[in-house]
Amino acid sequence: MLLPFVFIIDFTAIERLALIGVIVAVMAVEALNSAIECTLDRFSTELHPLTGRAKDYGSLAVLLTLLIAVATWLVLLWPKFT
């Protein structure tokens, strides 16, 4: 939903690359997290502490990537609206 803003608002090429790049990074990390979860579920359906930790670490990676993406968008959009 944010990608149209990259082309509507006047950004430099480097800024556009950063804004698109962080969105792609979030999607890539989310795909890796889903792959980890599917793989762990495939090998065992019983509850195990290490399985839970692996899934938690995958979710943490997604969260950190989202925080970087939000920070990038805020830093680049803020001057356009102030």
Q: Which amino acid is at 81?
A: F
Cα 62 to its chain centre, rounded Å, is: 5
Is 47 labeled as ligand-binding?
yes
Measured CA to CA, the distance from residue 66 to residue 43 in angstroms comes to 29
**Which token pair is 19?**
């804004």
The residue annotated as part of the active site, out of 5, 9, 25, 30, is 30
Q: Does the annotation count 30 as an active-site position? A: yes
Active-site residue list: 30
Name the binding residues for a divalent metal cation: 37
Name the binding residues for ATP: 37, 46-48, 55-56
Name the binding residues: 16, 30, 37, 46-48, 55-56, 59, 73-78
